[in-house]
A and B are shown apart, each in its own frame.
Chain A
Amino acid sequence: MKALVVDDSRTMRSILARILGDLGIDVEQAVDGKAALERLIAGDLPDIALVDWHMPNMTGIELLNEIRHRPELSRVRVLMVTSESEPDQIGIALDAGANEYLIKPFTPDAIAGKLEMIGLGEGSTATTTW
């Protein structure tokens, strides 16, 4: 399985990469939504993108909208990982097409649980063909 971590904080990218790596997931990183979109358009689609909300150049919601409005990208699952914790914000992200939503801070178990809910957990039959 491959994941794309999209966060402008190198610290957070490092934390998420470590957790995902421990779960046996290959991790790529992007520093903002614009860099992530360029990588996705280039064609090597991940199974899932873990996306922060507030980033320079292109926010997580803007990236999510791009992913969901481009047929060639729409199969990428999106887990929003953000410090935005209000129900209204969660609703905005889910309405825009996020598969799941995780509020910072989080635990490794929470990440694993969200992957399971999305159908990408250990033992899941959901796979992506490259």
Chain B
Amino acid sequence: MTIDALTDDVIADITRTMWAAIVDDSHDLEDATSSGEGDLTASVKIAGTWNGTFFITLSAAAARQAAARMFACDGAGLSDADIRDAAGEIINIIGGNLKALLPPPVTLSLPHVAHGGAHALEGADVLSDMHFAWLDEPIIVAVRRGRREP
């Protein structure tokens, strides 16, 4: 099935809107040409009329700063589990809102969080790779079409 709704522009727009709403409404996600591999990747899988995975990959500093803003703290006391949880919630919300663009029925998985730039799914079709910078830290939002586990 062709999903015309999942264009780079739409993915970027929803990502920016969700980021501003849940992480930081005072510093926009800026376009970047390349963001490196990243240190932490959170993903949610979509299954149904369309099968694929939405990913967000963050640098360690971006992941900690984002979590700090979501927990409303300075970040020093956050555990690795807190940071992973926050990254998972970010992709859960971005993925949930992207899912609404897909023809029903489609289901959203629980978030999966892994260290490294795990968005490079072997055997999956690359639908989108969006590179951003936030507070000079790299963030990648990727969409892959396929059934492979992240």
Contacts and interface: CB of A to CB of B under 8 A. Distances in A.
Interface of A: 8-12, 14-15, 18, 54-56, 82-86, 88, 103-107
Contacts of A11: 67, 70-71, 82, 85-86, 88-89
Given A14-B72, A18-B72, A88-B104, 11 more contacts: A10-B82, A10-B85, A11-B85, A11-B86, A11-B88, A12-B89, A83-B92, A84-B108, A86-B99, A86-B100, A106-B21
Interface residues of B, number: 25
A12 B93 CA distance: 11
Contacts, number: 57
A14 B88 CA distance: 14
B46 to A, nearest CB: 12
A85 B22 CA distance: 16
Main secondary structure of the interface of B (DSSP, over half): helix
B93 A105 contact: yes
A82 B108 CA distance: 11
Main secondary structure of the interface of A (DSSP, over half): loop
Contacts of B109: 54
B105 to A, nearest CB: 8
Of A11, A15, A84, A105, most B-chain CB atoms within 10 Å: A11
Given A11-B67, A54-B108, A88-B104, A83 B93 contact: yes
